[in-house]
Structure 1
Amino acid sequence: MTPRTDSLNRILILCIALFAVVWTWHRYPSQEQTAPPAHASLAEIGQTETDLTEIDPTQISSGDAQLARAFANRQSQLQVQGEGEVIKLLADDNEGSRHQRFIIRLASGQTLLIAHNIDLAPRLAPLNIGDWVSFYGQYEWNPKGGVIHWTHADPKGHHPEGWLKYKDR
């Protein structure tokens, strides 16, 4: 082989390798790009930031008030109860324990991601945008409103039992 042919072969191999990497990256995006985890922040799933500055405290429930305080104080690991309107349905998180995921808006305007373990409790179905869901679970702070999880019984009995109420069930 001549030096020129050797250089052209190396360039050709490099181009093919680069093309294969780019093609694979676009064809098979990583799991993080396709389905955020059950406890992802709402920012990661495109939800707008909760604005609690214009809330009339006389118009919200005690659960909403507790969640507003938890959000303002960046608290987590709180057992809370409340209810809200479903505003967005998300794909299930199937990494590890499977979770049904949806976003609700409280009467206060605060948004919450509900991450409901469907390996331990039944799925809410058929769940639609506009439906109301009551909950009791653990609140975890994030900059977009927070996440509610542990909305089920703990099979090991180490965590307070949570629940979801939907259509009187």
Structure 2
Amino acid sequence: MKTQKNNWILLIVIALLVFAYIGLDLKQNSTQRGEASSSVEQHGVDGQAKIMQAFQQQRSKLQVRSHGTVKAVLPDDNDGSRHQRMILQLENGLTLLIAHNIDLAPRVEQLKKGDVVEFYGVYEYNDKGGVIHWTHHDPRRKHIDGWLKHNGRIYQ
């Protein structure tokens, strides 16, 4: 009798573990699919509101993620570390200078006016809208890695 009771308990524990594993796997897969399909939409809206608020409050040093449309591709800044530069316009109308360090990350290829670029970097206030930098990895691992995404490719 005791052995049969132990077998039932063991069977119930195994069943619970299997259901928990399947449930967690399903939840993780649906979360990953949701994140992949709405990465620009979710972070774009939240990020743009965060950037606009930082601009209005003249705040800097904020890690942000969003996207914008290329309004201008500027010449590289070759003073010190080399930076690829572009002006992005957010959906809320704010314009940002993107300063992408091409000594630490690859240059964004085939970039042109009208393209959409997603970014993850640090916002710095200026009276023209602001600057996004740290859109690259940190080889010293002391700062959060940033990136740019253009035509499905991540530049880090």
With normalisation by structure 2, the TM-score equals 0.69
Q: In the alignment, which of 127, 132, 141 is matched to residue 116 of structure 2?
A: 132
| Distance in structure 1 (CA, Å) of the matches to 2:152 and 2:68 | 14
- Pick aligned residue for 1:114 from 82, 95, 98: 98
Question: Aligned residues: percent identity?
Answer: 57
Matches of 1:145 and 1:165 in 2, distance apart?
21
Q: 2:76 maps to which residue?
A: 92
Paired residues in the alignment total: 110
Q: Which runs of structure 1 show a deviation greater than 6 angstroms over 4 or more consecutive aligned residues?
A: none
SS of 1:144's partner is coil
Q: Distance in 2 between matches of 1:81 and 1:94?
A: 26
Residue aligned with 2:104, SS? coil
Structure ranking higher in helix proportion: 2
Question: 2:56 matched to 1:72?
Answer: yes
Question: Aligned AA for 2:148?
Answer: L
User: Counterparts of 2:80 and 2:52 in 1: how far apart (Å)?
Assistant: 30
**In structure 1, C-alpha distance between the alignment counterparts of 2:150 and 2:72, rounded to whole Å:** 16
Deviation at 1:125, TM superposition (A): 1.1
- Gaps in structure 1 of 5+ consecutive residues: 1-59
Q: Offset at 1:95?
A: 0.7
One-letter amino acid of the counterpart of residue 110, structure 1:
L
| Aligned equivalents of 1:140, 1:155: Cα separation in 2 | 22
Given the alignment of the two structures, is residue 160 of structure 1 paired with residue 144 of structure 2, yes or no? yes
Q: Calculate the aligned-residue CA RMSD, in Å.
A: 0.8
The reply to whether residue 81 of structure 1 matches residue 100 of structure 2 is no
| Residue 97 (structure 1) shift | 0.6
Distance, in Å, in 1 between the alignment partners of 2:87 and 2:135 is 14
Counterparts of 2:73 and 2:119, CA distance in 1? 16
State the shift of 1:68 in Å.
Answer: 0.4
SS for the counterpart of 2:55 is helix
Alignment of 1:146-157 (within 5 A): 146-157=130-141
Can you give the 5+ residue segments of structure 2 that lack an aligned partner in the other structure? Answer: 1-43
- TM-score scaled by structure 1? 0.64
